Amino acid sequence: MNTLSELHQDHINLTRLLDILERKVARLREGVHPDFSLMADVVSYVGGYADKHHHPHEDQMYAYFRGRDPELDQRFDACEQEHKALKKLSSQLSDSIDAVLGDAVMPMDRFTDQLETFVQTEKRHLDFEESKIFPKLDALASEEDWVELAKRIPPPADPLFGEHQAEQYRDLYRALLEDMNTH
């Protein structure tokens, strides 16, 4: 499995979580209050894993290929800006969830809008990479490129979907499996 394949698998896993959050948005709009601690864990994973592992790996891969195709370079620039915006959205949403868990009063409509913006922005970002960047990289790269990238970018240990789940995500994983099986 090469770096691009690993990042693509991350996108599949992240999309699963975003789909769950999208269902939570629909429930919030119907007036059903979600399990905020579970939501906090999902947002923590999506934002934390993306910010600490996934996006830096993408940025390293993009830097490796930079200069080979001007159109692709422009897409890399746009993607790097999106990474910064997503980090900010993730942080703001985490702060809002922490506030709600801390019994702060927050209009549910405002929270729901914030969650929906986060989910839709993440999904658009993943779609952009999957449709506009990854196929061009796949066509441009040689086998030697993937070998070199594998040396430079070790595969991340995914704390939720990986072989060794971090303790903090075990309950989240079980809850997500339960959530997926009941809907």
**CATH code of the domain in which 34 resides:** 1.20.120.520
Taking the C-alpha atoms of residue 141 and residue 167, their distance in angstroms, rounded to an integer, is 37
Taking the C-alpha atoms of residue 23 and residue 73, their distance in angstroms, rounded to an integer, is 35
Provide the residue range defining the domain that includes 89: 3-182
| Phi, psi angle pair for 141, to nearest 5° | -80, 150
Taking the C-alpha atoms of residue 83 and residue 166, their distance in angstroms, rounded to an integer, is 24
Report the number of secondary-structure helices (H) and strands (E) in the chain.
8, 0
Query: Predicted confidence band at 107 (pLDDT cuts at 50, 70, 90)?
Result: confident
Residue 165 has pLDDT above 50, yes or no: no
Instruction: Provide the number of structural domains found in the chain.
Output: 1
Mean pLDDT of all residues in 78-87:
92
Residue 168 has pLDDT above 70, yes or no: no
